[in-house]
Amino acid sequence: MNAPSPILKTAHQTKMAKGKGKHPRPSVLLLFLGGSVIDSRGRRGDLVRKPKDIEPWLAQMSEMDIIADTTGHFIGPGTGAIGLAEWAGVAKAIEAHYAGYDGFVVVHQLETIEAAAEALSLMLDGLEKPVVLVGSWLHTRQERSLGRTLVVPGAQEFGAKASFINAVQVAVSDAAEVLVVFGSTIFRGHGLHSTADPQPTLTGRVLGKIDFGIRLFGAQIKRAKRAFRIRAQYETNVAMVEYVPGLTVEQVVGQATGRKGLFFSLAPALQGGAAMLPSLASSLRGLPIAVFGLTGRVGRLPSSLLVLADQTRTAALIHFLWALGQAANQSALRKLLLAPTDR
């Protein structure tokens, strides 16, 4: 991952900042990690690949100046793999600049925005202000050459620039949690679900809509004085096993030996794998085992198993890795993992 850039501000914004006087305007920090395409023609300022691209990008987004003073911070280009290290970088950048801004916008690729929203929802504890994820559904020439030409349903009536402007509006709203702006819809970051089949779309807990303004539906966490901290430690030395017919306890134990945890998942049509859970718990005594996808009644299970429900597989896995990174013992792990996170 590239080193973070310094904060960049357009000349127009600098002039406005000098004239704030006694009534300062809201300020928003944009953190770039892909998903920044304004126009797919590839002109200068249409895409942020490097820190030096931020200033011309902001110059094309001067409409945001009507809402707030916006500045930019480079996390990464958003190409290739994006994962826990990059999201921890976002969290640490927010921590470093937390006192200086009224809200934060994370410009992020759409392909992994579900996982990013879940990870940041867990890492950013005690938020007093909004952290808003948003991404463009437009593609560069290179991406289009690879066949990526899908248009996001429900967002095509908005230009890409409108999505970024909407995100800045939400970043200065009264909300105080991790949110995702998708077209005109505001989602809660926790519990988001994305799919690219047959076209990219997002579903989850809707907290509001954006039309001529922002309409929040009353269930969001609001700005208040709280003790903010980041909890960015993750334990990634975990075996991830998906049950298939014929899989044996011995094979699973072999994969889990030497690991810090086991994430065991079952498909809805393959609940027969639940029969091996008592033997797994006995064979891997003391190893945290998270079970995802368990449906129906399967009899009494060992209390050491951590059954995850009411979330997507992506969210459950990220939650398990995060809880393992925080917990000092099995009791603390259970409390972190099974406590309600949809506030």
Q: Which domains does the chain have, with CATH numbers?
A: 11-230 (3.40.50.1170), 238-338 (3.40.50.40)
DSSP helix/strand/coil, 2: coil
Using omega within 30 degrees of 0 as the cis cutoff, is the peptide bond preceding 200 cis?
no
Which residues touch 214 (CB under 8 Å, ≥6 apart)? 169, 170, 173, 186, 208
Among 173, 176, 179, smallest CA distance to 223 is for 176
Contact 177, 220 (CB under 8 A): yes
d(CA 287, CA 139): 44
Distance from first CA to last CA of the chain, Å, rounded?
33
Which residues touch 60 (CB under 8 Å, ≥6 apart)? 38, 45, 46, 161
Q: Give the per-residue pLDDT at 343.
A: 47
3-state helix, strand, coil in the chain (%, to 5): 30, 20, 45
Q: Pairing mode, if any, of strands 289-292 and 261-265?
A: parallel
Q: Give the per-residue pLDDT at 331.
A: 92
The DSSP annotation for 107-168 comes to EE-STTHHHHHHHHHHHEES-SS-EEEE------HHHHHTT-----TTTTTS-HHHHHHHHH
The one-digit pLDDT tens for each residue of the chain (343 residues) are 444 455 554 433 433 344 444 558 999 999 999 999 988 777 888 999 999 999 999 999 999 999 999 999 999 988 778 899 999 999 999 999 999 999 999 999 888 899 999 999 999 999 999 999 999 877 666 655 555 544 444 444 356 788 899 999 999 999 999 999 988 899 999 988 887 655 567 888 899 999 877 888 767 788 889 999 999 999 999 999 999 999 999 999 999 999 999 999 999 889 889 999 999 999 999 999 999 999 876 677 888 899 998 889 999 999 999 999 999 999 999 999 987 655 4
Q: Which two tokens stand for residue 23?
A: 């009534």
pTM of the predicted model as reported, rounded to 2 decimal places: 0.85
The DSSP annotation for 304-317 comes to TEEEE-SS-HHHHH
Among 284, 275, 289, smallest CA distance to 250 is for 284
